[in-house]
Amino acid sequence: MASSEISVSDTSGTDDGDDAGRAVTRGTAVQSVDRALEVLEIVARLGTAGVTAIADELGVHKSTVSRLLGVLDARGFVEQVGERGKYRLGFTIVRLAGSATAERDLAKAAQGICDMLAEKVGETTNLAVLDEDRAVNIVKARSESEVALRTWVGQGSPVHATSSGKILLSGLSRDEVRRRLPSRLDSFTETTVTSSTALEQELEAVRSRGWASVREELEIGLNAVSAPVRDHTGDVVAALSVSGPAYRLEPDDFASVAADAMSAALEISRKLGYGGD
């Protein structure tokens, strides 16, 4: 009996120690991230900065700054300037900034067109971009007459179960599609496509006709159609969708609504420098 009590006590003590250890680890990690961001801000403000200058501003030891700069340099966030021991912002920062700017430019170019499309078809319109295996809305427009849908800017949805996602996947190679998607596709309703083979066949059809549709694949009672938005190179960079209640946006309406969506998507594409039809 005594042995059992000791065993329980020991296990409990170990758990407390593990929890405390994890808390300390998390705190240390957060502090390291915060300092790394401060380093980037200092380098951005000064243009170029050395270990000593950064350490003085942060009030930390130079070895700490050296370690942070080493990690940031390895990831391309900073780069050394010649052999002077100074650093400047690296290409990764430029790439991230360019991506954020491009997304804002895309949203700015699309908002008015999405508004007009929503009024024309009387349903919700969204513009979504690809983020690994999710379609993320960056623009939303509502018709005055439509029933409010649970969509919002920043919302991410599984690509295999949404019309926007299928458009975005259709712009990728088969190998890239397989890389992005999990081996097992989640089922949300009875009509969700869960077979990789079936999805690949559907993507071929999407590429051929130029638009995608879903019938209650993500949510019961919700249908949608989408069209591709292309940049100046012709690559698919976004998907323009029209979604509505299944009782109102019926399969018989898909083709005509898709035609309106494709026309609006082409207008957005033109603003991005696309020269095709």
Give the per-residue pLDDT at 24: 44
What are the pLDDT digits (tens) for 193-222?
Answer: 999 999 999 999 999 999 999 999 999 999
Residue 9 is predicted with a pLDDT of 36
Question: Which ranges of the chain have pLDDT less than 70?
Answer: 1-29, 83-84, 97-103, 145-153
**Rounded to an integer, what is the distance from CA 178 to the centroid of its chain?**
17
| 116, 264 contact by CB (below 8 A) | yes
Contact between 108 and 130 (Cβ < 8 Å): no
pTM of the model: 0.65
Task: For 140-186, give the DSSP string.
Answer: EE--SSSPP-S--TT-EEEGGGSHHHHHHHHTS-HHHHHHHS-SSPP
Query: What is each CA distance from 192 to 89, 188, 212, in whole angstroms?
Result: 45, 6, 14
pLDDT of residue 253: 96
Q: Which domains does the chain have, with CATH numbers?
A: 2-89 (1.10.10.10), 99-271 (3.30.450.40)
Spatial separation of the C-alpha atoms in residues 70 and 201, rounded to whole Å: 47
Tokens of residue 82, six digits? 């010649």
